[in-house]
Structure 1
Amino acid sequence: MRWIEFIHVRAFSEEFRARALKEAKALSMKDAPEMLESIGLWDRSDLPTDLSILLRWTEKPVPGASSSIGLQLAENFSRFGWVNHSVWADMVMIQKEGGK
């Protein structure tokens, strides 16, 4: 089972979003836990103040809770706007036949 954490930021303004984006682009996998597979940055196409950070885990970092990395990111990015932090587990992947 794989896990993802979403840190969704709705910035106070486009200026705050630009600051958050700059900080998000500086994130690094250096010294990341082995279970952390990747960090993704997502831009909401219909709201210019929204962005999300996606942490993809190969296994749940902390049973029944958010990871310490996710909690730290959520707290750090809260200075740019409202933050929603959630943890999700995959249930099933539906793919095209013969697809990857």
Structure 2
Amino acid sequence: TRDPELWFGDGNLVIQVTPRLFRLHRGVLAPSSKFFRDMMAFPRAAEEDTYDYVLLVVLRDDDARDAARFFKALYIPRYFSGPPPAKTTFDAIEGVLRLCHR
């Protein structure tokens, strides 16, 4: 299922974290995450999986909610702060930290 908040038509990378699909930008992920930077540094094989004509990366060991929170933290500047009183749950922070630790 495409994540409605994190599906960008001009994205050049689709990340699948079952059951969600995120169409994002390599240029946003690589500077923000060593995991993605290292992954994108490797040469691409011609037979790699694609989705909607762009590279498909499947993250099998991650939780879709954690991934959504991590990507929102990168893409939505006020995701954690929001208008007062901002309510950020421990689960949201923990999910982001889990993916940051990769």
TM-score range, shorter chain: under 0.3
TM-score (norm 2): 0.26
- More strand, by proportion: 1
TM-score (norm 1): 0.26
- More helix, by proportion: 2
Q: Which has the larger radius of gyration?
A: 1
**Whose relative contact order is higher, 1 or 2, with alpha carbons under 8 Å and at least 6 apart?**
1
